[in-house]
Amino acid sequence: MPSHNSSRFFEPTRAAGLSRLAAFLPSAAQAYASGRNSDHGPDQRRNVSVLSPYIRHRLITEAEVLEAVLGRFSLSSAEKFVQEVYWRTYFKGHLETRPVIWQRYRTEVTQLSAAVSARGGGLAKAYRAATEGRTGIDCFDAWVEELLETGYLHNHARMWFASIWIFTLKLPWQLGADFTYRHFIDGDPASNTLSWRWVAGLHTKGKTYLARRDNIAGYTGGRFSPEGLAREAIALDEPPMGGAQPLPALSRALPSGRVGLLLTEEDLHPDSMDFGHAEIVAVAGASAVPERSPLEVAAHVAAFTEGSLADTMSRTAQRLNVPADRLASLSSVSIADFCRAHGLDTVVTPYAPVGPVADEFASIIPALAKDGITLMQLRRPFDSEAWPYGTRGFFAMKERIPDLLAQAGIGGTADDGGQGRLF
């Protein structure tokens, strides 16, 4: 069997992300729409973009990808791919306006991880069999192996995987979401958590996703024909979460004067951000990868995140001709030391949406304030304009896509053989 190591699949650089985008671009319209649901295996990914690791860390941005696609195709031609980009945006907005979902999930993972860390008990044994690929379900065990080796699964396989985990293996969805979050190179707090909840019938209440043998066989080209799958998917239940909240308010003022720039894995394209009249005199980088879970995060996830951070720090420091410091940790102590070393009292950073980095910022910001240091988060207009449409189902955002593209100044020039223009 060939090795599918993650470094061969995903080089953690912006240049690699741009190269993947360029290679995929000719297939972003009809070819993508007709072939995107098929999982041909880890060595056959030409039917999908495989851009998610780069977009998740914003080595390349959603706006860049949309601009490239809609500079070549009309919106009607590339509709399916554009919608997939906005599904990511929708999930980010949904979790951002319902942070209690993340908070409850984190609490439940902590409780459940203690149970599976114990050597005895039925849950621990079933969990180990699932996460080691020893269930006897051919497709599921193969996907576990692929995930452990590459850090990636086709989107359709992710849905099947979650459905089998929940409805056939009868394991807690929270542990499944934690397992994939710790192993996906594109692991995202919103997309990962809410996708698992959607399969379980919690995101759209009562609507579940059932993995079926014929569907799996058909869309994997007969590679798999699993036996013993659940015949029904009864929606899970939970206590009410409450309604949506407004987006967190941020300062309307842009930074000015001498500042430091803090980069995290949440947004690694500072080149496209507006820093006002600030003079960036030093760059710092820090990661919250260890905070993803009480269980161990996969080495390939840490390596991709670290490589992406190093790539961005190096390029940014070179472009600005300033020093770059890799912080020992994402902590108020490390950031304060960085500020003292460069004579700073203000640090700017791309906004951290709900997730481990934002969790760390919740304690870092007040601690720094006591030392007279301001940590200023800057949120992209792309996010501020789109996220409020993520409070309900995806349709509310889907119908706004043309307006959101116009607000972002994206598209409108493509001519793909007379099939129409974006506007």
Average pLDDT of the segment spanning 350-365: 98
**Strand, coil or helix: 290:** helix
**Strand, coil or helix: 278:** strand
**Per-residue model confidence as pLDDT tens digits over 150-181:** 999 999 999 999 999 999 999 999 999 999 99
Pairwise CA distance, residues 85 & 92, whole Å: 11
Pairwise CA distance, residues 402 & 23, whole Å: 25
Q: Which of 147, 177, 382, 350 is nearest to 265 (CA)?
A: 350
The per-residue pLDDT for 120 is: 75
The structure tokens listed for 200 are: 């379980």
**What angle in degrees, to the nearest 10, is found between the helix axes of 79-97 and 99-117?**
80
User: What separation in angstroms does the CA of 232 have from each of 116, 224, 237?
Assistant: 26, 20, 16
Q: Which of 88, 109, 101 is nearest to 179 (CA)?
A: 109
**Per-residue model confidence as pLDDT tens digits over 246-264:** 999 998 888 889 999 999 9
**Per-residue model confidence as pLDDT tens digits over 112-153:** 999 998 877 899 999 999 999 999 999 999 999 999 999 999
Pairing of strands 256-263, 346-350: parallel
The per-residue pLDDT for 8 is: 56
Min mean pLDDT across 55-69, 129-143, 260-274, 406-420 is at: 406-420
The per-residue pLDDT for 413 is: 46
Helix intervals (H) in 321-355: 332-342
The structure tokens listed for 408 are: 């972002």
Pairwise CA distance, residues 185 & 410, whole Å: 28
Q: At CA 66, angle to CA 189 and CA 83, rounded to 5?
A: 60
Pairwise CA distance, residues 118 & 24, whole Å: 45
pTM to 2 decimal places? 0.94
pLDDT band per the 50, 70, 90 thresholds, residue 10: very high
The per-residue pLDDT for 129 is: 97
Q: Which of 56, 42, 60 is nearest to 87 (CA)?
A: 56
User: What separation in angstroms does the CA of 264 have from each of 140, 241, 261, 329?
Assistant: 33, 29, 10, 11
Average pLDDT of the segment spanning 377-402: 96
Q: Which of 6, 92, 82 is nearest to 299 (CA)?
A: 6
The per-residue pLDDT for 80 is: 97
The per-residue pLDDT for 374 is: 96
Pairing of strands 324-326, 346-350: unpaired
Pairwise CA distance, residues 279 & 281, whole Å: 6
The CA dihedral of 199, 200, 203, 209, to the nearest 10 degrees, is 30
Pairwise CA distance, residues 401 & 395, whole Å: 10
User: Looking at the predicted structure, is the pLDDT value of residue 34 above 60?
Assistant: yes
Q: Which residue has the tokens 């007279």?
A: 372
pLDDT band per the 50, 70, 90 thresholds, residue 273: very high
Tell me the percentage of the chain whose pLDDT exceeds 70.
95
**Per-residue model confidence as pLDDT tens digits over 85-120:** 999 999 999 999 999 999 999 999 999 999 998 877
